Amino acid sequence: MTDVKLRKDAARNRARLLEAGREVFAQRGLDATLNDVAHHAGVGVGTAYRRFANKEDLIDAIRYEQDNELEAILNESLAMGDPWDALVLYLEKSIALHVKDRGMAELLTGRRVRPEVQDQSRNRLAPLVNRVAERARDAGVIRADATGTDLIFLQIACISISTVVQDGPEIEERSDSGDLYRRYLWVMLDGLTPQRADTTPLPVQALTTEQLHALLSAPINADNSHARRST
Amino acid sequence: MTDVKLRKDAARNRARLLEAGREVFAQRGLDATLNDVAHHAGVGVGTAYRRFANKEDLIDAIRYEQDNELEAILNESLAMGDPWDALVLYLEKSIALHVKDRGMAELLTGRRVRPEVQDQSRNRLAPLVNRVAERARDAGVIRADATGTDLIFLQIACISISTVVQDGPEIEERSDSGDLYRRYLWVMLDGLTPQRADTTPLPVQALTTEQLHALLSAPINADNSHARRST
DNA sequence: ATCAAATGGATACTGCGCATCCGTATAGAA
DNA sequence: TTCTATACGGATGCGCAGTATCCATTTGAT
């Protein structure tokens, strides 16, 4: 991962920048400046640009760390005996992570990254997510047509709700509303339950893992937040 | 609404601009330029700025029209005999509208507007949404603790999912994936069902209408897309 | 002691969205 | 038909924000 060998101070500053990057991006989103990160790290802008050629590089490095955390959650989930509890643990923990980290959320929700990074990330995590879904399905605790991609979209939904809530002001007499997304997480979990599956089949098929991947792998877009093809 | 009296050509251009604004914002989102709208309307930029002092004014005017459409859907829903069908009709139609209109979606999902406009819009629509929820609740087709604000967040969730899907490329051999959000709409509808309500109470209370309103009424932010308080 | 490596931060550059300005054209009243 | 207030078009100026560089100075390693 790290290049060859760095001088002691250089290595220290690199670490500081990574740390600062995580904090700044978590709080202000990926639109934060590399200059911002440098300041937050107590380091000159020049130094920042020598350690990471551009913001994208820093983001890639951070993403690698984040993927480790997600993988840990998935492994913890898969180690559990009860498939339902495993499913719940994964969703709750993964979503909580994204909700606390705006940058991470943007990475999941559409922000384009270098395709190789996207691919690597996916190859590592997707199979685990699929297995979580599979176990729950085989155990009959979720409807038979539920898939791993459903879990992803379910997360996206919850995170989006949380974003809307967080962008607003603190609500009077109820500042704990950062939890609100959990209400809808549980509505959806109830909806995944097999009970009603026979009476109301879902109107649209789930995406396959490949389709989801294709969806999230559009050509990298220098422009950040909300790209859109023009007419 | 319209000022006093406009010269014939001026009135015509105003109408064209409104029309063009709807189209452009629907397609490219509210970040599109007033200059863009002017060109799309086949009108000079100067004309655009004479009819609408700034982009915000144009958006307000458009929003008024959109609220009419939403109100129509709500009335159609409330006129139906079956509360469940009414609920489904409202959600399906309202979400479909937002999915086809990126600007409208941004208006619902966090984009700040002039408080008066926000208030007016809310005072018109919120009671109707609440009534849709109330009817379904009283009929026992959704869990007893479901509220109108739940319907709003459910919409936000679906719209967000759709946004993620749309921002990606067309999926091979399945370009109809614009419907994917409906899969999750129905998962959530199943989740609202009273069946499981007794075994698993939701972990977080719904917001009251007032709380939701407070949430969506942050001080107007000149900056658009994704404002966030800094440290 | 020596020097390659690293540092900091002022600053140039670039691109973009907003809005104005003014010479020209037109509606519509007299 | 004449006349003038109104409207038109679009080139252009302004300001801002993010990116990245440059270079005089300091620091680490041998």
Query: Across the interface, which of A164, A216, A230 has its CB nearest the CB of B156?
Result: A164
pLDDT of A154 > 50? The answer is yes
What one-letter code names the amino acid at A166?
Answer: Q
CB atoms within 10 A of CB A88: 18
8 A C-beta contact, residue B181 and residue B215: no
Residue B44 (CA) to nucleotide D10 (C1'), in angstroms, measures 6
Structural domains in chain B, CATH included, are: 8-53 (1.10.10.60), 64-215 (1.10.357)
Which nucleotides of strand D are protein-proximal, with an atom < 7 A from a CB?
Answer: 6-12, 18-23, 27-29
- B149's tokens: 């604000």
Name the pLDDT band for A198 (thresholds 50, 70, 90): low
Residue B14, amino acid = R
Nucleotide nearest to B56 (CA to C1'): C18
| pLDDT given for residue A217 in this prediction | 79
Q: Hey, are the CB atoms on B230 and A28 less than 8 Å from each other?
A: yes
CA of A32 to C1' of D17 (A): 11
Q: Which residue's structure tokens are 């898969």? A: A78
DSSP A228: -
Predicted local distance difference test score (pLDDT) of residue A24: 98
Taking residue B43's Cβ as centre, other Cβ atoms within 10 Å add up to: 18
CB B109 to CB A160 under 8 A?
yes
Q: Which residue has the higher pLDDT, A212 or B167?
A: A212
Q: Report how far residue B12's alpha carbon sits from residue B179's, in angstroms, rounded to the nearest whole number.
A: 37
Asked if A119 and A217 touch (Cβ cutoff 8 Å), the reply is yes
Say if residue A224 is exposed, middle or buried (CB neighbours under 10 Å; 0-12, 13-18, 19+). Answer: middle
State how far the Cα of A82 lies from the Cα of A231, in Å rounded to an integer: 50
Q: How would residue A88 be classed by pLDDT, with cut points 50, 70 and 90?
A: very high
Digit-coded pLDDT (tens) for B69-106: 999 999 999 999 999 999 999 999 999 999 999 999 99
Query: Pick from B149, B166, B187, B156: which is nearest to A158 by CA?
Result: B156
Q: Does residue A172 have a pLDDT over 90? A: no
Q: Over the stretch A6-17, which tens digit does the pLDDT of each residue have?
A: 899 999 999 999
Nucleotide whose C1' lies closest to the alpha carbon of residue A52: D20
Instruction: Give the position of tokens 């922000």.
Output: A111
Residue nearest to nucleotide D7 (CA to C1'): B10
Q: What percent of chain B has pLDDT over 70?
A: 88
Q: Which residues, 6 or more positions from B188, have their beta carbon under 8 angstroms from its beta carbon?
A: A184, A187, A188, A191, B154, B157, B158
Question: Residue B1 pLDDT more than 80?
Answer: no
